[in-house]
Amino acid sequence: MPELPEVESVRRGLAEARIRAEVVDTWRSREKMRMECDPRALIGARPGALRRRGKYIVWEMAPAKGQPLGLLLHLGMSGRCGIAAAGDPRALHTHLVVSFGDGRELRLVDPRRFGGYRVAPLAELLAAAPLAELGPEPLDPDFDGELLAARLGRSERGLRDALLDQRAVAGVGNIYAIEALFDAGLHPLTPAARLRASAWDRLAVALRDALQRGIDNGGTTLKDFRNVVGEVGRNQDDLRVYGREGEPCPRCGRALRGFVHGGRSGVYCPFDQSARRVR
Residues 6+ apart with CB under 8 A from 91: 107, 109
Cα atoms in the Cβ-side hemisphere of radius 13 Å centred on 86: 12
191 is catalytic: no
Residue 1 has pLDDT above 80, yes or no: no
**Which structural domains are found in the chain, ordered by start?**
4-133 (3.20.190.10), 145-268 (1.10.8.50)
DSSP class of 154: T
Q: Phi/psi at 126 (nearest 5 deg)?
A: -75, -25
The pLDDT-based confidence of 239 (bands split at 50, 70, 90) is very high
The residue type of 133 is E
3 is catalytic: yes
53 is catalytic: no
Residue pLDDT, tens place only, 138-166? 999 999 999 999 999 999 999 999 999 99
CA distance 10 to 72: 13
6 is catalytic: no
Residue 227 has pLDDT above 90, yes or no: no
Residues 257-270 have a mean pLDDT of 95
The pLDDT-based confidence of 10 (bands split at 50, 70, 90) is very high
The pLDDT-based confidence of 124 (bands split at 50, 70, 90) is very high
Catalytic residue chosen out of the listed positions 11, 52, 53, 55: 55
Catalytic residue chosen out of the listed positions 194, 240, 264, 277: 264
Residue 276 has pLDDT above 90, yes or no: no
